[in-house]
Amino acid sequence: MESVFSELYERHIDTVYRICYAMMGNRQDAEDAAQSVFVKLMRSKMTFQSVEHEKAWLIATARNHCRDEHRRWWRKKVVKFETGMPDEQHADRLPQHEMMDGMRRLPPNHRLLLYLYYYEGYKLLEIAKMLKLNINTVKTRMRDARKRLKLELGDDFFD
């Protein structure tokens, strides 16, 4: 049982962490959130039909956990000091750095949609099913997220 969990953890920790980072906005909170997601998995004794089912459950759980964290009253009082990127070795690439800074300034739900679509490669319909949203809602939110990101980065970035 322990080796099965270890394999599942190794298979999905990077994805869960990146989703938590996209929603939480800093490394420490993302690490805490990712750990909490796997603790929830251990406590739930969940069984999965496939690797994709595992991943979908973990993504949805990570999103819900991060959203719950954002709702806590004390969370709004925290001052964020971290300005680093999740992947520090690419800090010399200005366009990626600007993109990450722009993403950080978006609301968590917009960051999540953009991350799932562009970085994880999910189609809009898959995202809608995973997040239990109407496909048209996902399309609208994706359009809004792109528009806000474009405003954050400026038109020069998209030429």
How does pLDDT run across 137-147, given as a tens digit for each residue? 999 999 999 88
Please indicate, yes or no, whether residues 71 and 17 belong to a single structural domain of this protein.
Answer: yes
Digit-coded pLDDT (tens) for 49-59: 999 999 999 99
Q: What is the pTM (predicted TM-score) of this model? A: 0.59
Which residue, of 82, 117, 138, is where some domain finishes? 82
Where is the domain boundary, 58, 82, 106? 82
Which element (helix H / strand E) includes 55?
helix 51-71
Residue where one domain finishes, among candidates 82, 104, 134: 82
What does the pLDDT look like over 17-72, one tens digit per residue?
999 998 888 899 999 999 999 999 988 878 889 999 999 999 999 999 998 887 76
Are 68 and 52 members of one domain?
yes
DSSP 65-91: HHHHHHHSGGGGGPPP-----SSGGGT
Pair 31, 97 in one domain:
no
Q: Which domain holds residue 115?
A: 88-159
Q: Which residue type sits at 26?
A: N
